Structure 1
């Protein structure tokens, strides 16, 4: 009878990880966990302590610092797979899951499904002939070497690729491999996993190639399985149910989706809302049950498309997905840096990105040209961003696969801060208090159209007190707002004081905050 070794990649919510591991192993299956090396060591110790006495749980021997789209995700998977192979010699199948996944069938049903056919379940479509990649880079993912991360080092990523194009540094794909692509949520038999591990020991060239491809978790296993396993033993599908909106974002499931999920022809679903506690409890109990009487209607994707279509036609009878998901999420943390001198805030964000590895976006609600990923059009204009501001931020949290996001707002955007502050998520605000010389304020007046090159000295002298008062008024209004998580750094303050405030705001160690506070020319005009 099938025994599943779940390969769990996770980076947050230790209580949810513990619950997920206990629910899946209580039914007799086992689990190997990789907890992101970038995540909290305290959370990791909490997970290991809670699961230490569970013989059906093991942990990857080495924790990798994972980055979206990078080789590190594949390496983390391999580390967990190797731990599972060593610890669970009775496991017949290895099933990739994330912390957002949950079973939508019973263990008995799942085991019977896997016993029914001696095959692997993995999406594996021809990389160049299929239309699996809808937009964006395709061949460029493979033929150029990607050593920078597009999401956290966007400028370096594209500069490096353009330089390789200019110098004609295209590389060859390993000649004996037919490149394939598909979802990373696979279920593979033990013999397939062992064949992959054995293959990799003799082919360091393959590992070198994939290490510098972009988004290798969508190509690595998909290609190797097709290379090592006969076609008639591969089912080109995933056993994990997931829906993507036409904005490219995964649709989240809530408590009232229970019956719909059970009727899908899948064993697991992704992604379950962190707030759907009732749904998680019911699905956990379901996996441990003996139930086998599932009626499969498989209408999930069609139902979603139908409801969204009615919304477009003006015949909506329920809110559209961005309105329904108006909260950023209870577990998420929005960090806001506010400063009248935008160039100072942008320098600070760059330093935070380098030292704290928090996704950062500068004045997205004030500058049309702020670099943003393609989110299906919601990001294209300032008017759209402001109108759907919570939806936009929620999609950015999803895009960067993070629970912490840092943005810049002008102090005049106090209404946005009040709106975000009223959300169920946590909002933290850092004010950068700068010194303003008369020359700077005059330049500011010219930039915003309050003065021109031909404005006389008398006009400027009358204007200066008003502009200075506006700056002071906005700063006072920030303090009067009484946001619960409000900190401040000052141009006039010593570095150690600013480092203390940054450490509190970012929740980073003192030495990291010190390096950020010492950013070269931080306050220079």
Structure 2
């Protein structure tokens, strides 16, 4: 009887009963504290079911909440009972009702027998741990916390702010250096009794009763006064996520738990029948003799945290919809956006599809409908061409389109006449390749036969919209591959510009373009822009477009040869 168990139980009492019988069957006395929040009838039934066990004690019940002093009090009461009634116990192991032994009890007892004076408790100073939660490091030991962090968060935060503002601080008792660590420890009788029988215990209890989360600092601090040999680690496997919440182990974690080589694991799901049947029901379990090493599975937990916080690039779903800017990439694959090209070239989409071999759509965000390639009404992933369906969440429409077609590059047209909800999304998306000819939206206006006053009004509106879009593209937050030409710049060397964007899509080793789309007739366009200026609208996004007719790219006439004597 060298090992005694202290258990704090508050839920799933049927599972706690199984574990108590397991400990007791292997010669370990157990003292149980059952949370006062458990109903009297349930407690009496639990107690009655275990009445046949001799080496089992129940303690006075306290009402415990997360991070409160009552958890320490419950541990103190149960530990005092264990030490008083079972004199042969040399090590006391603190567990919860959701803890499960992973290795044979005999192996744990042999491990502790080989280390009779060693205390196993995680104990580190605030400066040495990265996992304190809530922004309270040293302050958890110098401020007061009369309000529950979980139930009265607003009062908790306001009272902390008030103490900071007034400069109120409590003094740490002389000689104490605050330490923190896991709540779950295994201490020797000598060390534990010294803590519980300390002449200054009243002072220490009064101080720690006002510390935030004292169950992670009380024993962790006082053990430094009395232990002659500390192993600053817990023999219990307990993992926490990036929010400080404990990981819960399910049946599919069976092999993971075995690999850890830990003696006990915490936070076992009460319905994990396979885990309970495996670890409690195998009398011939293999004795490993290996050192507990939870670090062997840290890599898996790190990957789980990364998947939870970052997810798969471009994947959004009900089970994991990230906070804004938490997504691991706006989309999952590269795609291209062309702005102003369909306005400047005839049949541009078909030409681009031939030149790149990619899937080329029209204006996916056109106001009236989604212009899928070939005029399709539905597209991969059951995406509808309905503008109403798309506009319910345009941003998710784009991300779904890229996710559904991963492995095939998508290209679509965009402009100031389109829905602009995705403007910032494509600008900050590293997967986007954006090619824009600014001011090209004026070409269709030039080609229409409408009242000039109406054209002027629409031109001013479209220019304002495109300018706001350019602000996003030129922002410091923009991550897309962006090429911007003014209309005047582009028509000077259109072949060079087209070759550049096609090379970026298909790769640098492609052959030179042998076929180019036909540019629309821009004769008189310069005068059209001048007329807009004359009417008080300044079309500045087109660049320095000449008023005279655009010269045709004709080959110069061959000169007659002549001789020089």
Using structure 1 for the length normalisation, give the TM-score: 0.57
Residue 192, structure 1, aligned to residue 188, structure 2: no
Gaps of 5+ in 2: 328-565
Counterpart in the other structure of 2:79: 81
Q: Secondary structure at the match of 1:263?
A: helix
| Contact 2:133-2:244 within 8 A present in 1 as well | no
Q: 1:27 to 1:274 in 2, by over 3 A?
A: same
Query: Could you tell me whether the CA contact under 8 Å between 2:13 and 2:97 is conserved in 1?
Result: no
Contact 2:16 2:98 in 1 (8 A): no
In the other structure, the counterpart of 1:119 is: 118
Displacement of 1:220: 0.2
- State whether residues 3 and 91 of structure 2, in contact with CA within 8 Å, keep that contact through their aligned partners in structure 1: yes
| 8 A Cα contact 2:103 2:285, kept in partner | no
Pairwise mapping of residues 168-179 of structure 1 onto structure 2 (< 5 A)? 168-179=167-178
Larger radius of gyration: 2
1-side partners of 2:169 and 2:322: how far apart? Answer: 35
Q: What residue is the counterpart of 1:97 in the other structure?
A: 95
Equivalent residue pairs, number: 323
Tell me, what secondary structure is at the counterpart of 1:272? coil
1:276 pairs with 2:272: yes
1:321, 1:44 → 2: CA distance? 42
**Partners of 1:271 and 1:193 in 2: how far apart?**
25
What residue is the counterpart of 1:21 in the other structure?
Answer: 20
- Gaps in structure 1 of 5+ consecutive residues: 327-376, 384-525
Equivalent residue runs for 1:341-490 within 5 Å: none
CA contact (8 A) 2:195 2:201 kept: no
In 2, the alpha carbon distance for the partners of 1:153 and 1:36 equals 21
Q: Which has the higher contact order (CA 8 A, sep 6+)?
A: 1
Cα distance, 1:258 vs. partner?
A: 2.1
The counterpart of 2:238, out of the listed 235, 238, 242, is: 242
Mapped partners of 1:295, 1:213: distance in 2: 37
Distance 2:145 2:167 in 1: 15
Cα distance in 2 between the residues matched to 1:380 and 1:9: 39
**What SS does structure 1 have at the residue aligned with 2:8?**
strand
Distance of aligned partners of 1:310 and 1:24 in 2 relative to their CA distance in 1, 3 Å threshold: same
Alpha-carbon spacing, 1:321–1:234, altered in 2? closer, same or farther (3 Å)? farther
Structure 2 CA distance for partners of 1:130 and 1:309, relative to 1, 3 Å:
closer
Verify the 8 A CA contact 1:308 1:320 in the aligned structure 2: no
The structure-2 alpha-carbon separation of the partners of 1:306 and 1:127, relative to structure 1 and needing over 3 Å to count, comes to closer
The corresponding residue for 1:220 is: 218
| Distance in 2, Cα, partners of 1:3 & 1:217 | 25
- 2-structure distance, mates of 1:263, 1:41: 40
Aligned twin of 1:304: 301
Cα shift readout 1:164-199 (whole Å, capped 9, x = no counterpart): 333332111112111111000100011111111111
CA contact (8 A) 1:262 1:294 kept: no
Contact 1:132 1:182 in 2 (8 A): no
Residues 120-139 of structure 1 show CA distances to partners (whole Å, capped at 9, x for unaligned) of: 00000013454342552112
Report the CA distance shift for 1:244/1:321 in structure 2 as closer, same or farther (over 3 A): farther
- How far does residue 57 in structure 1 lie from its aligned partner after superposition? 0.9
Compute the TM-score of the two structures, normalised by the length of structure 2.
Answer: 0.53
CA RMSD of aligned residues (A): 3.0
Correspondences of 1:285-304 after superposition (within 5 Å): 285-286=281-282, 288-289=283-284, 291-293=286-288, 299-304=296-301
Quick one: structure 1 residues 307 and 36, their matched pair in 2 at CA, closer, same or farther if it must change by over 3 Å?
closer
- CA distance in 2: counterparts of 1:137 and 1:284, whole angstroms: 39
